[in-house]
Structure 1
Amino acid sequence: MEILTVDKDLVINGKYAVATTSYRDALDSLYPLIDRLEIQRKLQVTRFYKRLESDLVEGCIMPPLTLAFVDKLGPRVSTKAFGDFVAKNISKGFVLDGIQRLSALMRASKTVGFDDSRKVYLNIIVCESKDSLLYRMITLNNGQKPMTARHQIEILTDNLYQFDKIGLKSYLEKEKKPKGNVFKKADLVSAYIAFLSASTSIENPKVIESKMDQLIADKIIERGVSKNSIEFSEVADVIAKFAKDDDAFKWLSNANNLIGFVVGADKSILRLKSTSAPSFVGSIERFEEAFSQFDVSKIKLGRERRKMVNYFIENYGGLRTSSADEILIELSELD
């Protein structure tokens, strides 16, 4: 692999390089990275990719692939140092853009006349922030079919956030629920989407799924990474701490509570970090006492719960010791 140039991406605070490598090296080093993704979209063998296969055999230039790493490089990195980094860490990379093209390249390589010495061009991103990497992935692929912003996040969540390693145990709904305080994987993914979009409105049965996904992507892009004051990993650490308490876990395992919590935590993370699980349980008990005073026949329960939990957690510093009546007054004044 030859690194042609290295620059800095000021939006995601990462390094960006343009490189070339041979088709053979791409197949040997990059194609296996597809298997790193636990949740992978079905590979498309459409007329377009069939056409690309034959064009590759005939000698076309394939559109660049985008490779990414979650890591930290120094402020000034030479092309040689960048190349050494990629060579050493290639097995840890993610293909952000070009999975279908790599698959087409693999199929083309089995055709008589294929020249594996030809060059493929690469865009390589290295950034230390997992959230920034996902932001860049969405801005790269948003609007393309068949993968939506929600699916993109689902694909990388397991690899970027290994929840089990920080005590945040999870399981897939198709699996039998393990014993203990274990979250549904789908709920954690939904919470992450809510965090990235800074919105509790990430699901609406009245809106078709494709449009809802587009609205979510728009919110993530509109917010941008520069406005993210904290990393999701910080929120995950707090959730893991509280989830050791059975009562706190029971509350947080409610998907609406979890979504409201992660969105609100962006504004109160320092206070939440310094709060013990028993103290948190006491505060949410008072919140629940206040919330129970609302007439459920006159509100959309799930939406209002997400919104009110968000407000309560966002203002946790001032509301954590408030009485149920004081919390009720605050919540009743929300739009």
Structure 2
Amino acid sequence: MRFEVVGIDYDNRINNFMVSARADYEWYLNKTQGSEENLAIQRDVIKGTKPYKNLRADLKMGCILPAIVLAVRNIDASVTENYDPLEGFIVASRDHLDALQSAIGDATPKDIDIVDGLQRTNALRQTFDELEEGDKPTFLARSLRLEIWVNIQFFPLAYRMLLLNAGQRPMSMKHQIDILSGGLAEDLQDLEGIEIIRLKDHKRRIKPGQFHLSSLAQAFQAWMQRSPNVDRTNLVVETMAVDEALDSLGIDLSDNDGNQRDGFRQFVDWMLQLDRALGDSQNRFFGNDTVVLGFAAAIGFAHKNETLQDRLPTAMAAMIASAQSDTENPLGVLTFDQIRRSVDTKRSNVGEATRGLVFRAVREYIMQGGTSPMIECWTQSASMM
């Protein structure tokens, strides 16, 4: 197996180093083994379509693929500190490139995500499986170009991916956020009381604090878009959502104070505290994705609203305290359940109606600075259904 780091560059917009590298197919397929499963909640791998059938045929003939983009976490990239980020064309020493080469080479597949190139990776694996045994060694020895973001945080990577794909629109915003979910899990895993369940774990939520990674990825999208409806089918609406998300991510990245990262982490921390306050008896409340999306959108709305952002911490502190002290109907969950059961399924989509109900109720609670009980907010929100 061969892997070679050939250079480094620095992105001053997202403040991160990117490594340019070459590898043979054998190294790449070994290092990304399981990445398809790690990213199983993203768009389905395309199989059997004519373009990818042609690509597999070209791969057998020795074509060169466009560079694949990876994100590698938890490696020692300290040698990059020797270089000035303002230097436009970084000329790294061979010793430093070798150090990065060794660090990346030691990374395990669980620390490597395919940011751009899942379909090409699948084509490589399918092509390899189709080859005769005698042809496989030659195939595995061919070269592949890689762009590797080292130790990049979730939010800068989200911005970079959304920006690069905004003009091409090869996949929805939801798919792009799903792809980055591994980094999101890494960023949230140290929050007190959280247990993140990945699709490959084959587990279901049985107690407070457990959240499926797919739910958290959708919650991030809802939080960022300030809308509980994350499945966009209208192209114009989807375009507007991406533009708004880019603007939001871009502004917070410019602040250089971690506002974006800390804002979403703060939402998840609040949700964990509320989840624990509800306890096992109301475990189903935050186990419902529609509830999570509604909460995320409402808090994201307040986080980015100049009028409400100062009321948000006070309101959430009041909500948590109320939920912890109310043993009969914390968060007004019983009232919420009654309203949800009253939705006319012949006239309304229950999921969409529930997301809207939660979004409006939580937003109203924040607008009131936590002075109105959640029962009243549920009732007021229901009157708008």
Structure 2 length-normalised TM: 0.64
Q: Distance in 1 between matches of 2:233 and 2:362?
A: 26
- Cα-to-partner distance string for 1:77-126 (whole Å, 9 max, x where unaligned): 64233223312224211001111112222333325485433321111112
Q: Is the 8 A contact 2:20 2:148 kept in 1?
A: yes
* Structure 2, unaligned runs of 5 or more: 84-95, 254-258, 304-308, 336-342, 344-352
2:320 is aligned, of 268, 271, 277, to: 277
Quote how far apart the aligned CAs of 1:196 are.
2.7
The equivalent residue for 1:196 is 224
1:230 and 2:260 equivalent? yes
What residue identity is the alignment partner of 2:260?
Answer: I
Q: Provide closer, same or farther for how the CA distance between residues 310 and 191 of structure 1 changes in structure 2, counting only shifts above 3 A.
A: farther
1:219 and 2:244 equivalent? yes
Q: Distance in 2 between matches of 1:21 and 1:11?
A: 27
Partner of 1:62, secondary structure, is coil
Quote how far apart the aligned CAs of 1:171 are.
7.5
The equivalent residue for 1:16 is 18
1:81 is aligned, of 99, 104, 119, to: 99
Q: Distance in 2 between matches of 1:301 and 1:53?
A: 45
What residue identity is the alignment partner of 2:220?
Answer: Y
Quote how far apart the aligned CAs of 1:177 are.
6.6
Partner of 1:96, secondary structure, is strand
1:152 and 2:176 equivalent? yes
- How do 1:1-335 and structure 2 match up within 5 A? 1-40=3-42, 41-71=44-74, 73-74=77-78, 75-76=81-82, 78-91=96-109, 92-109=111-128, 110=131, 112=135, 114-142=138-166, 143-145=168-170, 147-157=171-181, 160-161=184-185, 166=191, 167-168=193-194, 178-181=205-208, 185=212, 188-197=216-225, 199-200=226-227, 202-203=229-230, 208=233, 212-227=237-252, 229-231=259-261, 232-246=264-278, 254-255=291-292, 257-264=294-301, 266=303, 267=309, 277-279=320-322, 303=356, 306-307=359-360, 309-310=362-363, 312-313=365-366, 319-320=369-370, 322=371
What residue identity is the alignment partner of 1:319?
Answer: G
Q: Provide closer, same or farther for how the CA distance between residues 195 and 12 of structure 1 changes in structure 2, counting only shifts above 3 A.
A: farther
Quote how far apart the aligned CAs of 1:4 are.
1.6
Q: Provide closer, same or farther for how the CA distance between residues 255 and 211 of structure 1 changes in structure 2, counting only shifts above 3 A.
A: farther
Partner of 1:94, secondary structure, is strand
Partner of 2:227, secondary structure, is coil
- Cα-to-partner distance string for 1:122-151 (whole Å, 9 max, x where unaligned): 111124422222232333444444x32212
Q: Distance in 2 between matches of 1:176 and 1:65?
A: 32
Q: Distance in 1 between matches of 2:159 and 2:183?
A: 15
Quote how far apart the aligned CAs of 1:154 are.
2.8
Quote how far apart the aligned CAs of 1:307 are.
5.0
Q: Is the 8 A contact 1:202 1:216 kept in 2?
A: no
What residue identity is the alignment partner of 2:359?
Answer: R
Q: Provide closer, same or farther for how the CA distance between residues 125 and 184 of structure 1 changes in structure 2, counting only shifts above 3 A.
A: closer
- Cα-to-partner distance string for 1:176-224 (whole Å, 9 max, x where unaligned): 9754446774654432102233x226358xx735554444323222323
Q: Distance in 1 between matches of 2:154 and 2:252?
A: 15
Q: Distance in 2 between matches of 1:271 and 1:89?
A: 43
Q: Provide closer, same or farther for how the CA distance between residues 136 and 127 of structure 1 changes in structure 2, counting only shifts above 3 A.
A: farther
Q: Is the 8 A contact 2:184 2:217 kept in 1?
A: no
CA RMSD after TM alignment: 4.3
Q: Distance in 1 between matches of 2:34 and 2:296?
A: 34
Q: Provide closer, same or farther for how the CA distance between residues 178 and 141 of structure 1 changes in structure 2, counting only shifts above 3 A.
A: same
What residue identity is the alignment partner of 1:277?
Answer: I
Partner of 2:36, secondary structure, is helix
Query: How many aligned residue pairs are there?
Result: 312
Partner of 1:245, secondary structure, is helix
What residue identity is the alignment partner of 1:306?
Answer: F
Quote how far apart the aligned CAs of 1:170 are.
7.3
Q: Is the 8 A contact 1:39 1:154 kept in 2?
A: yes
Quote how far apart the aligned CAs of 1:240 are.
0.8
Q: Distance in 2 between matches of 1:39 and 1:180?
A: 22
Q: Is the 8 A contact 1:16 1:124 kept in 2?
A: yes
Q: Provide closer, same or farther for how the CA distance between residues 215 and 274 of structure 1 changes in structure 2, counting only shifts above 3 A.
A: same
Q: Is the 8 A contact 2:59 2:124 kept in 1?
A: yes
Q: Distance in 1 between matches of 2:24 and 2:126?
A: 16
